[in-house]
Structure 1
Amino acid sequence: MSTDNTRTDRPKTTTAPTRREVAEVVAEATEATLHGTPDHARAERSSAPAAGTTAAQTQRYGDLELRFTSTFTDSSTTRGMIIQNPVPPSGWRSLGTVLCHPSEDVALVVKDCSAQGDLLKSPTGFTRLAELKAGHIHYATIWQPNAPSGYAALGVYVTPAGSTPAPDAVACVKKTHNGRTYARQAELSTSGALTWFRHNVTPPYPHGDAEEHLLLPVGTMSYNPDPNPAPTATTWILDLPAVVDKLDGPDTPDLENYNSPPAQTIITDRAVTVPFFLVADPARTRRWKAEHSPFYKILRKRTFALVRHVDYRGAGGGQISESVTQGVSTEKSEEFSLTTGITVGVSVGVEASAKPFGVGASTTVETSVSTSIEMGYSRRYGVTSMESKTVGVTYEVPADHAGALWSEKHELIPVRADDSTVTNATLTFDSGSYVGRTYPHTDQAPPKVSDPTPAATTADGTPIPNLWENLDQIEVIPAGT
């Protein structure tokens, strides 16, 4: 923020500090210190971007459209980070002040596409929360946007000391619009570059949630210096209708003659569109992503892979018997997570995890967004088809018949806007669904699946149910009762 607007506690007769004096004070300040960005840098960030530096691509989620901007004003640096206010293009709105890494400062802005034009509203006013200063010099003021009734402010707004926010500096989001939620109360990060600014991060999904939606932190912050911060009036994130392209899954395979069947078609039956910061793509900078691929897709591909084919012509019948390792192993999940930021497993389903806006390499704030339902799985958590285990699969084939056994495979792939794959970012696993067919066709029983792992039992031998499949049956008994 410009030091031209700062005010001090010194008598008015005292000569204003020089820029060098300001810099010396800043160097001795605590971590709450903010210092003015040099004039040439501030002018560069607050001016219109050069052609090709700002992403032109947008994505609509329900009645809210998203895009990114790299134009900012009121910039200040602290501890290697930049606190600044996005300058949205005409017709777009900012949601609050963001904390960015200096070399890759981009921010999300939004546009109201509702027929009523009431999804976004300006605050009714602003409440002063705190002053930031170094020594006797005030640098900035933190403001809380006061949301209209039924609306939520998604973050604080910071101005140079001595100035107040414009009435339309930020937009508040309608909590419920056309029968669905658009803003959800969030949680606050407990770590980060600053101890008094906390990022708004994703809360747990509601129990039993089966709605296709995207909980989206937008890089804004709340002010709460408490070491164990509770949500404040500005601790909200977007809750948007998911953008999911859907196709029918692969056709059930069939055996049309005695020969081994051809490979089955691979079908992309789900494509979930997410902002780029929900997919880790370390081979590209944040600026590159905002310009060339502001939105990524997480694809699910499905096919039936042949496990075994037999031909019992001129012989007695037999049995196809195979061991199949299905689900996602811990090793595969960890490797995929490190590469893409997407965690896959029985307990989490599919979670897109990435650092929210404003978090640099030196900090560890992260947020997770579940996409299990959107990817076509029946549960958000406890997705049993991802449980890693080796099972026995058998299929009976009569005499003088051919037989084939297939296993349905799933592949998860994050791709950029040009459909290029994030480097080494694929995860393939057997889903636990099997198909058996004979030729000539017979009404054979479906393949049998046996789990060699002994079922868990109590001391008296009573089976213990699979908790992932029986979450709704769990009873909580308070201690001492």
Structure 2
Amino acid sequence: MESIKFGNLLINFTTEFNWIWDNKGSPNASPVGFWRPVPSADFLTDYFPLGDYAVAGHHNINKKIVMAVVCEATPQTEDDRINGKALMPPDEFERVWDDKGSKAYSDGSIWRPIPPSGYVAMGLVASRGYDKPSRNSVRCVRADLVIASYINELIWNNKRSPAKLDFSAWSISPPGAAAGEVYLSPGTFVGAASYTKPSMHIAAYSLRMQIPLHTAYPPPAPALSGDRQPAPFEKAVVSNISKLAWFTVKDPNLSALEQLRTSPTYRLERLDKYVLVGFGHNKSSLNQSFKWTATRGQNGSSLKTLTHTTGIEIGTEWGFNVWGASGKVSAKLSGGFTHTQTSSEGWTTSTAFEINATVPAHKAVAVYLVQSDYKLLRENGTQVATDISYTDGDNVYWSEYPPARECEVTCKPLPAPGS
């Protein structure tokens, strides 16, 4: 897939791993294996892991797990140049645990990278034997390119092992994403020489990235060309496209690995069209009032279907496990794309309101709202789930004939039932 760029950081994915160490032979111990992501030599030259992968078992994870790897990008902006390199090797390693006394067939140890000032370590690193890993085994990330995260689920501990030291490995979970951003736990782990969940002083981080949004000029509002009632709908125009990475979408027809191979990106398209909600023709010689009822917010219940099928929430953040215990994601679409900059309740409720127009003598007026239809498409153009639709009731458009601006159009909420 094309690498995801955030500042001067490139993010991509690998399904290839090198076995580092496991605890085969350790009596009574729960099985565990530690694997290092291997960037593809053909496609991901100069990419590095952010940490190792811990799995509660002795099975081979190659071609079964996806994990993020990173690369330094050429600076494109002055900020990139001022901020410095996106990636740096660790200054040193601190031993967190070793398996002495475990009676495993081979010796192993776990190390915490010590990052340079202004950088953070994204996960722990395993070593076969008791020597510290190479500084080139992993990269640390500049602090502004990541987000502080939570220590989440237990992956493994050695509670029943005869090893002298206690140890537990834990997954990382990102916080709720800000509008227009994605936070991704890359599949690394944190741990401590104890069986309890590490306290918050043990740092955990997720990668930050933005949801690319392509915005076109909105279609012009319709103009009355006579005193006859116009068509109920204007032609729909694709006004916005949000490009979603594969790991932010649950595809009902594809596994995570199949998504990465066949649809590494998805397009959530917004098509806008003007919908006629009222037309009045004042044929008299006095001002005349017209009144119509319109509905703002979600049209129908298809939003629940979209969320159930794909995991995507409109108007708020969403998140899920991308693969296994690691690789959690949190994402949120921008407020302008979802209309939630002006309305925070429209996606959960539909409300009726009244539009009033005062029309001068011998004049016609047409009143419109914008309806936005959303489609989620795979990279090959096939559609995922059903369309969803939203009517923006916060902006009302009208056109007059003859075109001099003389009408007065106002909106007000309808009284609650029984009031």
Q: Which of 443, 448, 463 is the aligned partner of 2:406?
A: 443
SS in 2 for 1:343: coil
Query: CA 1:136 to 1:230, structure 2 compared with 1: closer, same or farther past 3 Å?
Result: same
Matched, 1:394 2:363: no
Q: Which of 203, 216, 221 is the aligned partner of 1:252?
A: 221
Instruction: Say whether the 8 Å CA contact 1:401–1:440 is kept in structure 2.
Output: yes
Rounded to whole Å, the distance in 2 between the matches of 1:423 and 1:139 is 50
Query: CA 1:132 to 1:215, structure 2 compared with 1: closer, same or farther past 3 Å?
Result: same
1:124-154 alpha-carbon deviations (Å, 9 max, x no partner): 1222222469952166432211111110111
Matches within 5 A, 1:7-406: 55=1, 57-74=2-19, 83-88=34-39, 89-98=44-53, 104-115=64-75, 118-131=85-98, 136-137=103-104, 140-162=108-130, 164-175=132-143, 181-189=144-152, 191=153, 193-194=155-156, 196-204=168-176, 212-224=180-192, 229-231=198-200, 233-262=202-231, 263-313=233-283, 317-327=288-298, 332-344=302-314, 349-359=315-325, 367-373=329-335, 375=337, 377=339, 379=341, 383-386=344-347, 388-396=349-357, 398=359, 400-406=362-368
Match of 1:13 in 2: none
Report the number of matched residues.
379
1:49-106 alpha-carbon deviations (Å, 9 max, x no partner): xxxxxx4x32323322222222111167899997522111321121112357776322
User: Structure 2 counterpart of 1:239, which letter?
Assistant: R
Instruction: Say whether the 8 Å CA contact 1:401–1:439 is kept in structure 2.
Output: yes
Rounded to whole Å, the distance in 1 between the matches of 2:247 and 2:364 is 50
Rounded to whole Å, the distance in 2 between the matches of 1:266 and 1:82 is 54
Match of 1:33 in 2: none
Query: CA 1:366 to 1:120, structure 2 compared with 1: closer, same or farther past 3 Å?
Result: closer
1:372-391 alpha-carbon deviations (Å, 9 max, x no partner): 34736565x97244351322
Give the percent of matched residue pairs that are identical in Structure 1 and Structure 2. Answer: 19
SS in 2 for 1:254: coil
1:151-205 alpha-carbon deviations (Å, 9 max, x no partner): 0111122334446422211111111xxxxx212211122x365463332222245
Query: CA 1:392 to 1:166, structure 2 compared with 1: closer, same or farther past 3 Å?
Result: same
User: Structure 2 counterpart of 1:122, which letter?
Assistant: P
Query: CA 1:147 to 1:393, structure 2 compared with 1: closer, same or farther past 3 Å?
Result: same
Rounded to whole Å, the distance in 2 between the matches of 1:132 and 1:408 is 64
Match of 1:30 in 2: none
Match of 1:48 in 2: none
User: Structure 2 counterpart of 1:439, which letter?
Assistant: Y
Instruction: Say whether the 8 Å CA contact 1:186–1:231 is kept in structure 2.
Output: no
Query: CA 1:165 to 1:256, structure 2 compared with 1: closer, same or farther past 3 Å?
Result: farther
Rounded to whole Å, the distance in 1 between the matches of 2:200 and 2:54 is 18
1:214-238 alpha-carbon deviations (Å, 9 max, x no partner): 3332222222566554445441112
Rounded to whole Å, the distance in 2 between the matches of 1:294 and 1:192 is 29
Which one has a larger percent strand, Structure 1 or Structure 2?
Answer: 2
1:432-460 alpha-carbon deviations (Å, 9 max, x no partner): 23323332334222341314349xxxxxx
SS in 2 for 1:284: coil
The Cα of 1:315 is off from its aligned counterpart by 9.7
Rounded to whole Å, the distance in 2 between the matches of 1:143 and 1:428 is 51
SS in 2 for 1:339: helix
Rounded to whole Å, the distance in 1 between the matches of 2:98 and 2:229 is 75
Matches within 5 A, 1:462-477: none
Query: CA 1:261 to 1:393, structure 2 compared with 1: closer, same or farther past 3 Å?
Result: same
Unaligned ranges ≥5, structure 1: 1-54, 176-180, 455-481
Rounded to whole Å, the distance in 2 between the matches of 1:414 and 1:108 is 24
Instruction: Say whether the 8 Å CA contact 2:365–2:401 is kept in structure 1.
Output: yes
Matched, 1:410 2:372: yes
Query: CA 1:131 to 1:73, structure 2 compared with 1: closer, same or farther past 3 Å?
Result: same
Query: CA 1:185 to 1:315, structure 2 compared with 1: closer, same or farther past 3 Å?
Result: same
Rounded to whole Å, the distance in 2 between the matches of 1:412 and 1:350 is 16
The Cα of 1:320 is off from its aligned counterpart by 3.5
Instruction: Say whether the 8 Å CA contact 2:369–2:396 is kept in structure 1.
Output: yes
Rounded to whole Å, the distance in 2 between the matches of 1:390 and 1:311 is 27
Instruction: Say whether the 8 Å CA contact 2:358–2:409 is kept in structure 1.
Output: no
- TM-score by length of structure 2 reads 0.77
Rounded to whole Å, the distance in 1 between the matches of 2:53 and 2:99 is 16
Rounded to whole Å, the distance in 2 between the matches of 1:103 and 1:165 is 24
- TM-score by length of structure 1 reads 0.68
Rounded to whole Å, the distance in 2 between the matches of 1:81 and 1:255 is 71
